[in-house]
Amino acid sequence: MATAADIMAKLDELVSKVDNLTARVEALAKARPAGASAAPRATKPITRDDIGGPRDWEAKFNPRDWKGDSLKGLRFSECPADGLDEYARSLDYFASKAKDGPEKAAKDADAAALVRAWAEFRRANPMTVGDAPADEDDSSIPF
């Protein structure tokens, strides 16, 4: 069983590590100007024409923090707005990492902007492609 002196020594070691991490985070925060984002900005503005048609892409993955139904395989027009927000945050994260170079980072930033536009569209128009009215009576259909 550990003695009180051993416990205090470990506690002091942990406090020292926390202090070092705090100093590093503060230094990183000072290095970035206020309001600056780590993720690259979209290289082109998203217009009304981008919503729908060929820009109605399929979600390729489920965002890590998304707790709702699976988005993978759904078109953006079929996804809930909150899920699209999480999807855009994931793309921002990928853009900020830029492991595959600036072209991939710019592509991810553009995709994140498109997904955010879809999220806004879904909030403004909850009944779009893929949704069926809840009160629709189909009992008269013969098959």
Convert the pLDDT of each residue in 97-114 to its tens digit.
Answer: 877 788 888 888 889 999
Q: Yes or no: say if 114 and 53 are a contact pair by the CB < 8 Å rule.
A: no
Q: Yes or no: say if 100 and 69 are a contact pair by the CB < 8 Å rule.
A: no
Please write the tens of the pLDDT for every residue from 7-41: 888 888 888 888 887 878 777 766 655 554 555 55
Query: In this structure, what token pair is assigned to residue 121?
Result: 């569209």
pLDDT at 129: 46
Closest CA to 73 of 53, 85, 87: 87
Contacts of 98 (CB under 8 A, 6+ apart): 40, 104, 105
CA 133 → CA 71, 118, 137, distances in Å?
A: 20, 20, 9
For 80, other C-beta atoms within 10 Å of its C-beta total 17
Closest CA to 66 of 51, 91, 50, 84: 84
How far is residue 13 CA from its own chain's centroid?
A: 36
Residue 73 has pLDDT above 60, yes or no: yes
Residue with tokens 């079929």: 78
DSSP state of 73: T
Average pLDDT for the chain = 77
